Structures are given as C-alpha cells and as structure tokens.
With several copies, the nearest count.
Chain A
C-alpha cells in the first residue's frame, strides 16, 4: 500500500531537494538514497539545446508512480518515498526528476531508489521535447520497455 505520507506527483515548479529530504526523513530511517536527474547539455550540427519541454499524460503518470511506490514497498522495507517529476519547461542544468527513499539500512535505500528511477524512465507516460538555440524542437524518443 502506498503510505499517506509518501509524496508523489508531477509539478511545473522547480524541485526542492531540501524539502524532499526532510519529507523523507524520520526517526525510523537510517538511510536516505536520493536520485536527481538533470537535463544535460546537448548539441548537434552547431546548435545547442537550451531547454526541455516536458509533457505528461498526467493522470496515468501519477497512477503509474503510485503503483511503482506500492511495488517498491512490497519489495523493500521502506519508511518513506518522495517521487516528483517536472512538467513544462526545464532549462539545461536543472533537475527534471527527483526520487528519495528512506529505509532502515542503506542497501535497500539504494536498490529501491534505483528501481524507481529505472521504472519511471522506462514506463511513465512523460515525454520531453528538446528546444534548440535555433528555435527548432525535437521530440526525444526514449528506450521504453513497455509491457
């Protein structure tokens, strides 16, 4: 079951690392693993990516993230999960996805955090379009492994 104090969702405002870590903390946690995905500089044929525009099928992406949190909780002894993804414009160098998992011990924190980011990237209904310095744009095709 997803716990009521998990924090899961999509947001158009910047991701707040400090808030997420303090949401994930607690006296039953000995370990917090955090992953932050950052939009990378990219260039091709003399032009540069200046920002990314994230679009989501929001109802489904949120439902997927909640189901992934439940699956992680069945696999590992998790205290709290924070799982947030940006939508809208994200400049190069800014974080687009934030996962925080707190657990009693460190092995399971790393494993659960890795599981969540891998599955979100492969499955969640979120897309990004690269906005180039010449004002052109390209939809990025991921390497999802859909069911």
Chain B
C-alpha cells in the first residue's frame, strides 16, 4: 500500500524531504512506518524517538494500523505560541 509521508521542522530540514509517497506492507503500523523512515533517512534516525505521528490530521499511536492512501505526518515536539 502507499502512504503519503509528511515531515516538518527539524525532521523536514535534516531529511531534506517535506512530502513523499512511501510503499509499506498492507496493514503496517505507525511504528513500522517510522522504523522504515529511520532506515531511509539516517540523518533523522536519532530524532524519531522524540517524534510522534499523526494520521489523517489526528495524533496516532505507535500500534495503529495504516491504510492505503493515509497521510502519515512525523511531528517533532511542537513549539507554537
């Protein structure tokens, strides 16, 4: 299945990617997707443990399953305001 990956702030800068499509096995979890991102982008592997994920604009848990067409965003610690 295909998932739209989005990265922001320090993750976007260090990976050089703000948006891309990634191929994952059907039913892959958020955790599995984040491991895959860490393997592809070594520059951000050390940052991922402090990041969380959002799926389709809502925060998601590591064990949540992804579905084809989902938007998966990797969210470093927010600092708005």
Contact = CB atoms under 8 A, between A and B. Distances in A.
Q: Check A-B contact in the complex, CB < 8 A.
A: yes
Interface of A: 37, 54-57, 59-61, 63-64, 85, 96-97, 117, 120-129, 139-144, 146-147
A147 B62 CA distance: 11
Contacts of A141: 50, 76-77, 79
Interface of B: 6, 8-10, 12-13, 50, 52, 54, 57-59, 73, 75-81
A127 B80 CA distance: 5
Contacts of B54: 57, 60, 125
A142 B52 CA distance: 13
Given A57-B8, A59-B57, A147-B59, A123 B78 contact: yes
Given A55-B8, A55-B9, A60 B80 contact: no
Contact of B75 (A54, A96, A97, A125): A125
Nearest to B8: A57
B73 A125 contact: yes
B78 A122 contact: yes
A143 B75 CA distance: 13
14 contacts: A55-B8, A56-B80, A57-B75, A60-B54, A60-B73, A63-B58, A64-B57, A97-B81, A125-B73, A127-B8, A141-B50, A141-B77, A142-B78, A142-B79
Nearest to B14: A139
Contact of A127 (B6, B52, B78): B78
B57 to A, nearest CB: 4
Contacts of B77: 141-144
A37 B81 CA distance: 6
A128 B80 contact: yes
Nearest to A85: B80
The 4 closest A-B pairs by CB, nearest first: A126-B80, A142-B79, A127-B9, A121-B81
A22 B46 CA distance: 43
Contact of A129 (B9, B52, B58): B9
Contact of B80 (A63, A120, A139, A146): A120
